[in-house]
Structure 1
Amino acid sequence: MAKLLITDDAAFMRMTLKKMVTDAGFEVVAEAENGLEAVDLYKEHRPDIVTMDITMPEMNGIEALQKIREYDPEAKVIMCSAMGQQNMVVDAIQKGASDFLVKPFDESRIKESLEKTLSK
């Protein structure tokens, strides 16, 4: 069973995503509410995949993506963005993100993204 770290500053979004990924057969090993926490939790848990919100306080998702990929160049990070953040999504993909999801989340798209990312 693949292990996930969910990163989002909104507790409701973490809860929603956690339910969708556990329903799809994945295990959530940790949750972070900002990029700094995500980097520390990644090092502690070494999850198979990280879902990373782009816009967060303290350290945004793109900075956290870069720090995680510096620590582990093989890290698989799926960026999550709201509509209208296309420039940031392009930036994240160029910096090594595996995929991206647009909020509000679509359950079938999440499952597809997780499976595609795992098989890379």
Structure 2
Amino acid sequence: MSRRDRTIVVVDDNELIRISLRAILRQAGHVVVGEAKCGDSALEMIERHVPDLVCLDVNMPGRNGLDVLGEVRQRWPKVRVMMVTSQADRDSIQTMLARGADDIILKPFNGARVVETIARAFKR
């Protein structure tokens, strides 16, 4: 699968984060097929596009990222999920990974780290 074929949905309640991630991902050659700002719209977007990967914020209004992660794992087990969070403590990270996150992108992030983390996920 070439980088141009990889589809990604970006989910974050912060518009600036969504814009930043979209720009980083597109510059790296990925295709951002959708964006959402809450858990329910994220699930709708994922159902519509069934992307290769979802960049998923943890703390959002309504359904949080961990709830969405659980549903993604049940309904679309092959979709890779990168949790995007500022929660860098060991317990939070272990919880996200235990619930099925493929990896974690810590906020604040830089473009190189995002691209590296996503590339690592696609190699698995």
- TM beyond 0.5: yes
Across the two proteins, how many residue pairs are aligned to each other? 120
- Trace 1:44-83 onto structure 2 (pairs within 5 A): 44-83=48-87
Q: Is the 8 A contact 2:83 2:96 kept in 1?
A: yes
Q: Does 1:110 align with 2:114?
A: yes
User: Is the Cα contact below 8 Å between 2:88 and 2:106 reproduced in 1?
Assistant: no
- Contact 1:99–1:117, Cα closer than 8 Å, also in 2: yes
Q: Which residue of 2 aligns with 1:90?
A: 94
Tell me the TM-score normalized by structure 2: 0.91
When residues 6 and 44 of structure 1 are mapped into structure 2, their CA distance, relative to the original with a 3 A threshold, is same
Q: Which runs of 5+ in 2 are unaligned?
A: none
Mapped to 1, the partners of 2:94 and 2:39 lie a distance apart of 18
Pair 1:99-2:103 in alignment: yes
Gaps of 5+ in 1: none
Identity of aligned residues (%): 28
Task: State the distance in 1 between where 2:99 and 2:54 align.
Answer: 15
Residues in 2 aligned to 1:13 and 1:108: alpha-carbon distance in whole angstroms: 15
Secondary structure of 1:96's counterpart equals coil
1:39 equivalent to 2:43? Answer yes
Distance 2:98 2:77 in 1: 14
Deviation of 1:91 (Å): 0.9
The alpha carbon displacement at 1:83 in A equals 4.4
The alpha carbon displacement at 1:40 in A equals 1.4
Flag as ranges the 4+ runs of structure 1 deviating above 2 A.
83-89
1:87 Cα shift? 2.7
SS of the equivalent of 2:78 reads: coil
Query: RMSD over aligned Cα, in angstroms?
Result: 1.2
Structure 2 residue matching 1:38: 3-state secondary structure: helix
